[in-house]
Amino acid sequence: MEPRVKADIRQHIVSTWLSGDERGFSEETDLQESGILDSFSTLALIAFLDRTFSIQLEPAEVNAQTFRSVSTIARLVMDKLAKNGAGA
């Protein structure tokens, strides 16, 4: 499940904010430092995650740590899915 979640998030970020150019991009790339996420793209990404994984991210869950990279976002999504009982 987790590799799939990571792949979906990665694919979305690469196609939306890197014009499909995935050179140099990895699951650990810092999304803030690399200028990919600002307040407006963060908002769009939250909407994508809520829609794609049928979750509802709470304001307190969205911060610089949880939204640092594809890996950390995937971990957050997995935690949400597990809590919702839909992770199995």
CB of 37 to other proteins, least distance (A): 9
CB of 80 to other proteins, least distance (A): 17
Which two tokens mark 88? 């199995």
- Which residues from 41-60 bind other proteins, rule CB under 8 A? 41-43, 59
**Which CB, 1 or 35, lies closer to other proteins?**
35
Cβ(76)–Cβ(61) below 8 Å: yes
Q: Residues 17, 39, 56, 15: what is their CA dihedral angle, to the nearest 10 degrees? A: 0
Burial of 28 per CB tally in 10 Å (0-12, 13-18, 19+): exposed
Contact between 11 and other proteins by CB under 8 A: the answer reads no
Interface residues toward other proteins, by CB under 8 A: 17-19, 21-27, 29, 33-36, 38-43, 59, 63
